[in-house]
């Protein structure tokens, strides 16, 4: 099949939308399908990474100076870098009359109006979403967040739209499911918090990493753990974090643009992270985590997972309370709480979401062909 993705990355948007689409593209390519990414030339775009992974890229014009959605009816409108009409027209032009079997759209600023314009250019449309806040014109909606329900979408989509909801469909790279048996075996016993992973999203625009490092320095550890910090090379506060690590009382290493995140999560005993797709990566490997909300759209999932004992929520960075942080750390130094959180995390997802989604797409295309 010929599959086209429309998604963006930037310092402001982050890299999560492109990364989860790239994970699905890799899985589809293994099954013999051709994937092309249509992505805008934002500062911090990931066109080079997409190409290194073996997929084609159609790079859109840089954002217009006043290029937000002309209707101004979405808080994410400016993310598009153009009006939705201009974005749709440019997408069609870049496809060069080559009709896609599937158009996969992962963008909060795009709704049913854009989809309708693209209908002549695509047989089927799949929308990757987290918000359930707008009308969509598509055959499939994928929302991998815990707690989302069919009722959230039924009045926003066509009656025959297939809804793939929940972390069962989380788009994780294959190494997470591959390492899951090792993680299950390792986490059967608790030997203390010896290694902590700090990964606050690829770019960490708000520098939550430094806040976590500063607070970890004040913990009275029975045995000081090693700290493994992971960031993207485009992170605006990277040099500041590197300097903080150099001066830190604990042993802190900073890794950039890693391709072994699953192995790092397997080695860790505790994680500090953001919401988004890394939540499901940690869950797949049963890694207990404390989560800082770095975007408003993460709030519902983070709070729901906190209430079900899957994670500890530290709230938004601006509302960070040191005493809550310390209480959570103290609770997780005990075997019972740590193992309970690990078990609940394992139950969220087995890491096979990409297979589930790709099989659903193939089945729908096969039914249409008949």
Is residue 17 flagged as an active site residue? yes
Please tell me the distance from the alpha carbon of residue 107 to that of residue 86, in angstroms, as a whole number. 15
Contact 227, 253 (CB under 8 A): yes
Q: Which of 17, 42, 45, 237 is catalytic?
A: 17
Contact 32, 54 (CB under 8 A): no
* Of 359, 361, 267, 276, residue with least CA distance to 311: 276
Say how far apart CA 229 and CA 272 lie, in whole Å. Answer: 9
Q: Which of 188, 305, 199, 303 is nearest to 255 (CA)?
A: 199
Residues 162, 364: contact at Cβ < 8 Å? yes
Q: Is 150 annotated as a binding residue?
A: no
Query: Mutual orientation of helices 277-284 and 16-30 as an angle, nearest 10°?
Result: 60
Please count the other Cβ atoms lying within 10 Å of the Cβ belonging to residue 324. 15
Please indicate if the annotation marks 173 as binding a ligand. Answer: yes
Report angle CA 38, 52, 274 to the nearest 5 degrees.
Answer: 75
Matching residue, tokens 């297939």 = 162
- Which neighbouring-strand residues pair with 290? 272, 312
Contact assessment for residue 351 and residue 172, using Cβ atoms and an 8 Å cutoff: yes
Q: Are the beta carbons of 315 and 292 closer than 8 angstroms? A: yes
**Residue 195 CA, distance from chain mean position:** 23
**Number of Cα atoms under 13 Å in the Cβ half of residue 165:** 15
As beta bridge partners, residue 124 has: 102
Contact predicate 128/136, CB 8 Å: no
* Residues that constitute the known binding site for substrate: 173, 281
List, by residue number, the catalytic residues: 17
């Amino acid at each position: 099949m010929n599959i086209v993705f429309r998604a963006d990355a930037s310092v402001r948007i982050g890299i999560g939308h492109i990364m989860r689409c790239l994970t699905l593209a890799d899985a589809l390519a293994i099954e013999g399908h051709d994937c092309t990414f249509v992505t805008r030339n934002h500062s911090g775009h990931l066109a080079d990474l997409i190409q290194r992974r073996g997929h084609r890229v159609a790079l859109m014009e840089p954002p217009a100076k006043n290029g937000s959605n002309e209707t101004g009816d979405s808080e994410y409108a400016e993310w598009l870098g153009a009006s939705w009409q201009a974005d749709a027209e440019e997408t069609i032009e870049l496809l060069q009359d080559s009709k896609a079997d599937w158009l996969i759209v992962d963008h909060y600023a795009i709704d049913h109006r854009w989809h309708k314009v693209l209908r002549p250019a695509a047989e089927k449309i799949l929308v990757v979403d987290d918000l359930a806040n707008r009308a969509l014109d598509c055959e499939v909606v994928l929302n991998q967040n815990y707690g989302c329900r069919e009722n959230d979408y039924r009045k926003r989509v066509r009656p025959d739209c297939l809804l793939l909801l929940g972390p069962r469909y989380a788009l994780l790279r294959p190494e997470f499911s591959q390492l899951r048996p090792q993680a299950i075996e390792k986490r059967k016993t608790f030997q203390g918090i010896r290694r902590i992973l700090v990964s606050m999203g690829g770019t960490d625009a708000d520098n939550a990493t430094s806040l976590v490092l500063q607070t970890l320095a004040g913990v009275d550890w029975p045995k000081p753990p090693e700290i493994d910090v992971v960031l993207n090379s485009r992170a605006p506060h990277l040099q500041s974090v590197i300097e903080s690590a150099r001066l830190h009382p604990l042993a802190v290493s900073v890794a950039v643009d890693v391709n072994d995140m699953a192995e790092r999560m397997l080695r860790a005993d505790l994680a500090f992270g953001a919401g988004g797709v890394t939540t499901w990566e940690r869950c797949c490997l049963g890694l207990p985590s404390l989560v800082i909300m770095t975007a408003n759209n993460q709030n519902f999932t983070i709070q729901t997972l906190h209430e079900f004992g899957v994670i500890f929520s530290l709230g938004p960075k601006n509302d960070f309370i040191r005493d809550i942080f310390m209480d959570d750390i103290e609770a997780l130094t005990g075997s019972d709480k740590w193992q309970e959180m690990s078990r609940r995390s394992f139950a969220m997802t087995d890491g096979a979401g990409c297979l589930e989604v790709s099989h659903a797409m193939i089945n729908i295309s096969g039914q249409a062909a008949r």
